[in-house]
Amino acid sequence: MNLRLVLNPTVLLVSTVLFAVGCGAVPRVATTGARPTARTDDAAQFRIDLRLTNDGSEDIPLERFEYVFTVQDLGAFEGRWAALRTIPPGQSITMEIPASIALPADLAEQVDLDAPISWRLEGGVRYQAPGFLGRILFDVGIRRPTEPFSGSGTFTLNRAATSAPPESSENGTKAP
């Protein structure tokens, strides 16, 4: 038996399978904004808004986000967030992912709280490739594709409620 005759169909089959699995829609991810949602003297919480689009003709199940959220002069948050959503074909969905960053004790001295603060997000979303073969390869752990995304912008970090001086009336007592 000629080894060359056996290898050619095998190479052709493997190449076709890899090409077919590599084809198909991928989720497009746009970072549409970020905002602080809570703040204490010690830490700040943030929500990052994402728009995910499926230009394909089949559902794209999402597994998880892995990302780094960096805020100028404050630090960075590195995290994972379970996506557990599916993008229907030809549609877009919106999602939020969380972040939190410890704040330095001398925050007001390091950062102008009245000025916009820059932020940056870099990450990826792991998803299941469309199609029957894509599902099988994902389930057995052979192929778990990740689509990268990034974004940036500015926001204002509000002062913590506990750090604001109490208001008082003219006679020196606290206002109601």
Name the pTM for this structure: 0.75
Residues 6+ apart with CB under 8 A from 105: 41
* pLDDT the model gives residue 167: 46
Residue type, 108: A
State the Cα–Cα distance between residues 35 and 49, nearest whole angstrom: 9
pLDDT per 10-residue tile (average), the chain, 176 residues: 55 48 78 94 94 95 96 95 96 98 85 89 92 74 88 86 45 44
46 with 100: CB under 8 angstroms? yes
Topology of domain 25-156, per CATH?
Immunoglobulin-like (2.60.40)
- The pair of structure tokens assigned to 38 is 């809570």
The 8-class DSSP code of residue 105 comes to T
* pLDDT the model gives residue 176: 45
Q: Is 110 left (phi over 0), alpha (psi -120 to 50) or beta?
A: alpha
141-164: burial string, b at 16+ Cβ within 10 Å, e else: eebebebebebebeeebeebeeee
Q: Taking CA 100 as the corner, what is the angle to CA 98 and CA 101, rounded to the nearest 5 degrees? A: 155
* pLDDT the model gives residue 172: 44
Domain boundaries, the chain: 25-156
* pLDDT the model gives residue 9: 58
* pLDDT the model gives residue 47: 98
* pLDDT the model gives residue 35: 96
Evaluated on CA atoms 163, 164, 170, 176, the torsion sign reads: negative
* pLDDT the model gives residue 2: 57
Q: Which of 172, 83, 168, 169 is nearest to 126 (CA)?
A: 83
